[in-house]
Amino acid sequence: MLLIVGPPNVGKSLIFNRLTGRHVSVSNYPGTTVDISTGTSPFLPGYELRDTPGAYSLVPISEEERIAREMILSEPQAIIVQVVDAKNLRRMLPFTLELLELRRKVILVLNLMDEARRLGVSIDSTQLGEELGIPVVETVATTGEGMDRLCAVIRDGISQLPPVPPIDYPPRVRSVLREYAANVLPEGKPLPPPAQIVGPELLDELELEERTQFELELRLARQRYADSVLAEVASFPIPSSSTFAGVLNRLTMNVWTAVPIAFAVLYFGVYQFVGQFGAGTLVDFLENDLYETYVTPWLTAWVERLIPWPVLQDLFVHDYGVFTLGLRYAIALILPIVGTFFIMFSILEDSGYLPRLALLLDRVFKKLGLNGRAVIPIILGFGCGTMATVVTRILETRRERIIATLLLGFAIPCSAQLGVILAMVSTHHQIFIAWCVLMTIIFLALGMIAARTVPGRAPAFYLEIPPLRMPRLSNVLMKTYSRMYWYFIEILPLFLFASVIIWVGTLTGLFQAVIKLIVPIIGLMGLPAEAASAFLFGFFRRDYGAAGLLDLLNHGQLNPRQIFVSVLVISLFLPCIAQFFVMKKERGWKFALATSAAVWLTATTVGILANYVALSTGWL
């Protein structure tokens, strides 16, 4: 057994993929919703490889770290391949010391050596291995450098356990350990190294102040020992702040310059690239120039020749057909919008900018019962709410995960919705500004209410800030492809299924009956009766409904006031079927049903009020 361990963003999963190739399966860790990758390697016959969740320490503060700890403790015979960022070795070596205190077979992998060399970092990996008593391998996972050496070390095996590092722990730490050990260990057994007994059970017995001091002294002792080892084997020059990278790093970390940069990223990344290019240029080409001109007429003629019965023809083509509605919406409307969003997100992720954005928004998010770490699922929610709901697992506490899921279900439009909305308001700048202001107010108000009503503690915030780097095209394309593949495996069947349901509803009269129930509510919002069909589509997917509203706009059936009301309502509309079931899986039936009911009530109330205010004030 090989366990690949290490913190996030150090290339751990890339090394796992290099070793396993396509021999990988993904499953949930027992009793949790966290995905674990397991595989075999053609280079390492006889070994099973597991990619553990990202962890900084054996003392867990998140579900991922708890699972990583359990996996390490449950496989005492496994070889642990610890992957670290070579240029940040000082911060990561204390975790190595914890693993050595467990008396496990460890291979230390110094990844990102290309970046370390560019910064002038010098590490004598041979001497470091001698100091720690373990093999040390230098790698560059993106190019494959060092992978042959790593495989050779694994194949050679580790004949003996490494020595326990002689760390000088302060009296307070030793006292707490002795007191705890006296209650849980057999009498007369010597006190083991801290990593063998320090865990949630011990820490839960300490008062908050005592626990904080204990953890601090434990970390400081390991850090002092790590520093003494590195002083003999490595040098880390202070990076120049006068270089372009140094200046950019400072600008993105200083609040006075970071805020304008964040707005610029959102403007050019979301509004221009996703909204104007994705939802505008690409959608116009695919829907009008390609689909409406060539694909739809050809498919309609082909189906009408093949199927003589009009009822079955309607299943595949015409107004609500699988080909002319479901497939067209998925490919001509949703594909370019979601694709451009995931390209943008992958660029931000690979550049190292997202952690800086998390740090910038930490204070704001604390008012919402979250911290800066929540910026990742929240931003990802602008791509796909279903995927983002799954990603809330990275948040430390159940309270944070509930609040983030609530915000994603209420006030975060997915990229397909967002792209359609931006296309609808692209020529109405005052509507766009009003929509942004109102959605921000609703988002903040909901978060502040949730922060005061959802029970639980406010978590501490820590996050590794990687250096800014030029995104690698291969990484961006690979991440975009994997997310698009996941998205379309999830979305395309639902679009086709929705078309079938609409066909059945139309055939049986149920569709018309539901529309009759919706029309009075639509009327209170000041929208045309035809919009009822679009909102009915929204019960299947919010982006499906948004695309229906865009169709109405393109046919001249919405005036500016109706555009304003419709984009507000569809932004706040019910979570799509996929997001609803993921909410149920992650948070339970009660949460999913209660959230959906509250979202529907909020969306209709806001729509009615917005229409009333716009009419009474004469605005729009």
Would you list which residues are annotated within the binding site for Mg(2+)? 17, 20-21
- Residue 320 DSSP class: T
Burial class (CB in 10 A: 0-12, 13-18, 19+), 550: buried
Q: Where are the alpha helices (DSSP H) in 321-374?
A: 328, 335-351, 353-367
Annotated binding site: 6-13, 17, 20-21, 31-35, 51-54, 111-114, 140-142
DSSP 249-260: HHHHHSHHHHHH
Is-contact 370 399, C-beta < 8 A? Answer: no
Measured CA to CA, the distance from residue 78 to residue 99 in angstroms comes to 12
Q: Where are the alpha helices (DSSP H) in 273-397?
A: 283, 296-306, 310-316, 328, 335-351, 353-367, 375-381, 385-391
Is-contact 191 178, C-beta < 8 A? Answer: yes
Measured CA to CA, the distance from residue 555 to residue 352 in angstroms comes to 43
- Please state whether beta strands 48-51 and 136-138 pair in parallel, antiparallel, or not at all (unpaired): unpaired
SS3 127: helix
37 to 24, 34, 480: CA distances (angstroms): 7, 10, 19
| CA angle 108–110–114, rounded 5-degree value | 165
Measured CA to CA, the distance from residue 391 to residue 27 in angstroms comes to 15
Measured CA to CA, the distance from residue 573 to residue 21 in angstroms comes to 41
Q: Smallest Cα–Cα separation from 537: which of 507, 563, 505, 584? A: 505
Q: Left, alpha or beta for 465 (phi > 0: left; psi -120 to 50: alpha)?
A: beta
Measured CA to CA, the distance from residue 591 to residue 63 in angstroms comes to 20
Measured CA to CA, the distance from residue 386 to residue 579 in angstroms comes to 4
Work out the number of other CB atoms within 10 angstroms of the CB of residue 166. 6
Is-contact 339 484, C-beta < 8 A? Answer: yes
Q: Smallest Cα–Cα separation from 356: which of 430, 258, 452? A: 258
Burial class (CB in 10 A: 0-12, 13-18, 19+), 376: buried
Phi, psi (degrees; rounded to nearest 5) at 287: -80, -50
Annotated binding site for GTP: 6-13, 31-35, 51-54, 111-114, 140-142
Q: Smallest Cα–Cα separation from 274: which of 353, 350, 338? A: 338
**Could you tell me which residues are beta bridge partners of residue 146?**
none
Is-contact 151 44, C-beta < 8 A? Answer: yes
Measured CA to CA, the distance from residue 402 to residue 588 in angstroms comes to 11
Q: Smallest Cα–Cα separation from 599: which of 556, 570, 561, 562? A: 570
Token reading at 282: 């690409």
Measured CA to CA, the distance from residue 186 to residue 194 in angstroms comes to 17
Measured CA to CA, the distance from residue 441 to residue 435 in angstroms comes to 10
Is-contact 513 532, C-beta < 8 A? Answer: no
